[in-house]
Structure 1
């Protein structure tokens, strides 16, 4: 879309900074939409191109007259303070709008009407959050009554064209805001019955009446290293077990176990100590069960306790990945990974367990509310309801009687030998009694108290590590974001930086931190010149976070959904970024990481080809063919 200069709106008088060219186009288009019959639309500029400022410019260019004059901004909690800061920093005092942040607060309607902008966590920021039309969040947004409606999202369709319907319904775009009409018009594009494909594609292009822009100047570099003997053993063992499930036709039954095998293969590419099980992690970290968790765990229903005890491997129903150390809700006992649970708790008031809405093992529909501050860990659950799995370190030779022939092999013994020396060094450093827990082997976070010994024993890829540290030290004036899917790897990096002549500690941003701590970390990284590095959990930092002060992005481990990674990278590529953004991906050659990158390209190509194939419907959950490809297994 292009608008001649003479018809293009300039920067509103109340805005401190001048709009960029594409933002002027967005403002002109948004004003045209509001003044016409549409009364809104989808602003789908690429992530980082300043959709917030474009929308703020619209508010200043079209001030409401009379009462009520409230603009309602709905978005994830992580964006709430960012909106507030943008309004404060980017608008002139003479045009400053009053702002009310509404989050878990009971306020009277008359009080709310005195404010120009109400920030809750009608504009939907990160509008893709309502892509599932059946969720309570989506239904609540659809029920809102307003004159103008806007959806802000860099990814209006991530998995399939059906995700667009919820946004269309919110925008009241007739006749497609009715599900039956939408399905008839576009069903052929997603494997459903409907009108001809060519007609449906023409309608889809016509429906895409949003302004879009593309970013430029994003450079990517690849850092690779060769596979170690440890990685080869881990991959070989995982392939054998996956082939066994494949021959038996039990992929679906063992899906969560397969994800754990895949998780181990991916972790082996990063660092051997990521394969420490939950028992080792607890022993090294001297981790104690939080006594505040014990009483609520004791009050869980018998059915909930038995269901949790029966789970052999955990899969997050939100990100579809294996879970290293799951967090459980009280009282329902449903689980998810720490980062996803944190986002769920942040953005729901009251928090409502809705994990069953994803394609998961859960069959019952759970609508119960829970206290987000009272989630419990699997280790705490074991201490209360599975004490027999927790034995003292002084009791040698205890074996896990529940394991079968396939769960213990020579390769597993070899893998454990790789970390035995680090364990012994940690034990020498601490003479206090510790517990050696035996039972189901689950990966878990390792606390900083053990990381020094692990780091000192690390021998893997030392040359690449040295190059990485030298690079971080020499980037004068530049800032770097390091992404990983695993907080343990971030822990290892953090301790290494503390002991490697870094003048200032790196900042952290992950799901284990409170909302206030995450906001403080982002603010310090942005504003403090002496903070050069931020270590970010991939899923915790893949939406809404503004880290434009950084121009270097390092991705330690790839994820098969390309859009999760793209959203994370775009935390640095945002309006205000003056330097070229460089992205470094660190990969292990001829391993599962190579195949993950190839799978990323496949999935991205499907989505960008107008999402017209049935296989594009589930980009998050891996199907059997994709699993066979990742395990490098042939029929």
Structure 2
């Protein structure tokens, strides 16, 4: 196994005992107990942030109460304005929300699991605690565009007519209102993109003012309706608050600019990768003192990442106390009055290990060795950070090789930009902003800013030069998003700079290199870039059979730039002569010009998105010299076993790689399985039809879904079997995918099969998943939260004081040379 793919340092779990000794802390400077050397410690620069004031901590800790123990007769009742009754856990949630508004924090994080009714609880709060100030009465709700219509429907359907709320959607054509009109509504709904765009405009105004103090907006459209100085909201609710987890994004910064009396975050996943993601939510909530980045890092981020078990455990315990003070979380298995919140059949997750064929094994090990050599070169040159994107691509290739060797070169390099001819892609590459060109030339590898995965050939936006992976690009420019959500004028925006993205004004890195850096194109790939001739037809007639280029497993490695690497490795990666198919001329007779090179699989894949005839032609090419893989064989075996055990069961199959789903379609067709497909490249109507057909047709047993396109927002509870073909870095993305089947109205136990190859990069991904899950589950542990709630404020304060004293004593020891 390669040694360079290391999971993070293990974070220790807490011990089972949660009892704390009583502690009476002094009212004077808490640091005084560190001794005579405190003055020297305080004189050192940047050793620690300013100490928390005891009164701030005390007010924060006073929010912690054992609300789960409230008897039914003392719980909040359903607001009389609501037309549907709250469930018991929702009544407790309403009580908690009201308590948080009335307390020191004036807000918090509602982190209930998906399906437990966070929206209903928030609506109950809006109805229970209306503003008494007619000038500041509006609740602003910020949510993904896909949830705009859902919020509007919930408000319309769950509020009695005589208590109806005035609602406005500030998005698309609804952005004509200024704040003076918005503040007359009870609820205003807007999106993260709209919020980010306003902050961008506000910053541009600030720059214009600095350059010209007399500058004033000259257009009626130049208004700030959300983040302007006069925009004061009664309450702000951030729905799907994981969307602001990255504090560096414009959307997160815009959320923090909002002015409001009360603030709430709602998310089922307040952390998905690390503790650091929690900071952005705390910053939005303005939870003192930890909305200061230095304080947060000092108290939580750094000690939890440290290799000291003592610091790990102390910081984790302190984090659990903080979360209990600001966050409420219940899961589907949580107990209320001795019974689960909801009753749903259990899910069973099983690892299904497969073994490479001899060819797959030799190819994978050769690629692994080559990747190790490249990584060691970065390590030796101390350039790993600068080559972070390249390292991600190295890992991407290894992950692809675990699935099917064709993914590495034949099917993965080309982006899937629909309906844009090759010459247009080149023209677009010439229109990238000069500064963006310079930035892209220096960039070593790419990471998608949406899914954070490595990208070999990103889609590049014109003119800003920012980019995403092909699948995330398809999601953000989906023209049916606005129609689906009631906003026909919905426009896509760059996830980094928020400039509008025109789906027709994009290119990809391959064509950027061809135009701006042709010297970087490997010799053996230059002909491939010129394969498409000017007189090619776009006809739907794909019925003629063609001679095929090499589609065997040979020749799949994309060469790295260093020609001095091991000759042995190069020999291993070079295709054997017996596997090389020489191209043959199609023309008859002597003197005929040789036929133009045949289209590559990647080119056919791109064309397959146009119509069904092109799709059939692409699948025929895949079948002609079809090579299976260990994972595909295991998948077909599982489908056969499921069919034999119960012919009525339906199966969802997830993969990150749409090309792997393409390859899987070949044996599915050959064995006459009725199946549907769902991925980001499909039109919205086609995706909706696929879901309906899968759910309604009794003979449709299989659904192939791209993990990035279908991990959330789908109801596929007719399926009780889930196959995950490849592990993703983030375990919570996989959890969301599984929840497409394991959800309300599911009638069967859900069986999840994770297909893995041992002794490969997948082992490391699984280890990383387990560390992330352990860290975040420990921080959000519901049982620990209940134990914490039963402690007094003084006992809880002991945690915070003792950590401070430990840190100061460590500094003292360092100073006096112990």
Shorter-normalised TM-score: what interval? Answer: 0.7 to 0.9
Aligned to 1:107: 176
Cα gap change, 1:372 to 1:517, in 2 (>3 Å):
farther
Aligned to 1:204: 319
Cα distance, 1:181 vs structure 2: 4.8
Cα gap change, 1:8 to 1:596, in 2 (>3 Å):
same
Aligned to 1:54: 121
Cα distance, 1:157 vs structure 2: 3.0
Cα distance, 1:213 vs structure 2: 1.6
Cα gap change, 1:14 to 1:273, in 2 (>3 Å):
farther
SS in 1 for 2:328: coil
| Aligned match for 1:404, one of 563, 586, 589 | 563
Residues 241 and 267, structure 2, Cα contact 8 Å, conserved in 1: yes
Residues 235 and 265, structure 1, Cα contact 8 Å, conserved in 2: yes
| Aligned match for 2:575, one of 411, 414, 420 | 414
Residues 277 and 444, structure 1, Cα contact 8 Å, conserved in 2: no
Residues 230 and 268, structure 1, Cα contact 8 Å, conserved in 2: no
SS in 2 for 1:38: coil
Give CA deviations for 1:501-521 in whole Å, capped at 9, x if unaligned: 345x514132x356x559846
Cα distance, 1:43 vs structure 2: 0.7
Give CA deviations for 1:328-364 in whole Å, capped at 9, x if unaligned: 122232333124445666899883563xxxxxxxxxx
| Aligned match for 1:76, one of 120, 144, 149 | 144
| Aligned match for 2:469, one of 334, 337, 347 | 337
Residues 305 and 312, structure 2, Cα contact 8 Å, conserved in 1: no
Cα distance, 1:185 vs structure 2: 4.7
Aligned to 1:592: 761
Aligned to 1:501: 672
Matched, 1:123 2:265: no
Residues 79 and 545, structure 1, Cα contact 8 Å, conserved in 2: no
SS in 2 for 1:214: coil
Cα distance, 1:5 vs structure 2: 0.9
Q: 2:95, 2:494 → 1: CA distance? A: 40
Aligned to 2:509: 378
Q: 2:428, 2:606 → 1: CA distance? A: 23
Residues 367 and 573, structure 2, Cα contact 8 Å, conserved in 1: no
Q: 1:241, 1:298 → 2: CA distance? A: 34
Matched, 1:369 2:496: no
SS in 2 for 1:414: coil
Aligned to 1:163: 277
Q: 1:372, 1:394 → 2: CA distance? A: 24
Unaligned runs of 5+ in 1: 355-366, 612-635
Cα gap change, 1:311 to 1:406, in 2 (>3 Å):
farther
Cα gap change, 1:535 to 1:100, in 2 (>3 Å):
farther
Aligned to 1:141: 255
Q: 2:254, 2:726 → 1: CA distance? A: 37
Cα distance, 1:152 vs structure 2: 0.9
Matched, 1:228 2:327: no
Residues 425 and 511, structure 2, Cα contact 8 Å, conserved in 1: yes
Cα distance, 1:302 vs structure 2: 5.2
| Aligned match for 2:493, one of 351, 371, 374 | 351
Cα distance, 1:66 vs structure 2: 7.9
Cα distance, 1:219 vs structure 2: 1.7
Give CA deviations for 1:594-631 in whole Å, capped at 9, x if unaligned: 332233223333444549xxxxxxxxxxxxxxxxxxxx
Matched, 1:557 2:726: yes
Residues 414 and 457, structure 2, Cα contact 8 Å, conserved in 1: no
Give CA deviations for 1:20-77 in whole Å, capped at 9, x if unaligned: 4433322222233234443321011234433233323433455667856543221223
Q: 2:756, 2:312 → 1: CA distance? A: 40
Aligned to 1:262: 395
Residues 446 and 488, structure 1, Cα contact 8 Å, conserved in 2: no
Residues 289 and 380, structure 1, Cα contact 8 Å, conserved in 2: no
Cα gap change, 1:240 to 1:128, in 2 (>3 Å):
same
Matched, 1:536 2:705: yes
Unaligned runs of 5+ in 2: 1-66, 192-235, 334-345, 482-489, 534-548, 588-593, 609-614, 781-818
Matched, 1:467 2:637: yes
Higher RCO (C-alpha 8 Å, min separation 6) = 2
Cα distance, 1:379 vs structure 2: 4.5
SS in 1 for 2:400: helix
Using the size of structure 2 for normalisation, the TM-score is 0.60
| 1:234-273 correspondence to structure 2 within 5 Å | 234-245=363-374, 247-248=376-377, 249-250=380-381, 252=384, 254-273=387-406
SS in 1 for 2:261: coil
Q: 2:749, 2:81 → 1: CA distance? A: 30
Residues 277 and 443, structure 1, Cα contact 8 Å, conserved in 2: no
Q: 1:582, 1:184 → 2: CA distance? A: 42
Give CA deviations for 1:120-157 in whole Å, capped at 9, x if unaligned: 22211121222233432122111222233211122223
**Rg bigger for which structure?**
2
Residues 279 and 436, structure 1, Cα contact 8 Å, conserved in 2: no
Residues 286 and 434, structure 1, Cα contact 8 Å, conserved in 2: no
Q: 2:654, 2:153 → 1: CA distance? A: 25
Aligned to 2:652: 481
SS in 2 for 1:328: strand
Q: 1:241, 1:495 → 2: CA distance? A: 31
Residues 413 and 456, structure 2, Cα contact 8 Å, conserved in 1: no
Aligned to 1:327: 459
Q: 1:479, 1:84 → 2: CA distance? A: 33
| Aligned match for 1:296, one of 428, 440, 455 | 428
Moved more, 47-56 or 182-191: 182-191
Q: 1:478, 1:322 → 2: CA distance? A: 35
Cα distance, 1:316 vs structure 2: 3.0
Aligned to 1:630: none
Cα gap change, 1:36 to 1:532, in 2 (>3 Å):
farther
Cα gap change, 1:281 to 1:188, in 2 (>3 Å):
closer
Residues 76 and 126, structure 1, Cα contact 8 Å, conserved in 2: yes
Cα distance, 1:587 vs structure 2: 1.7
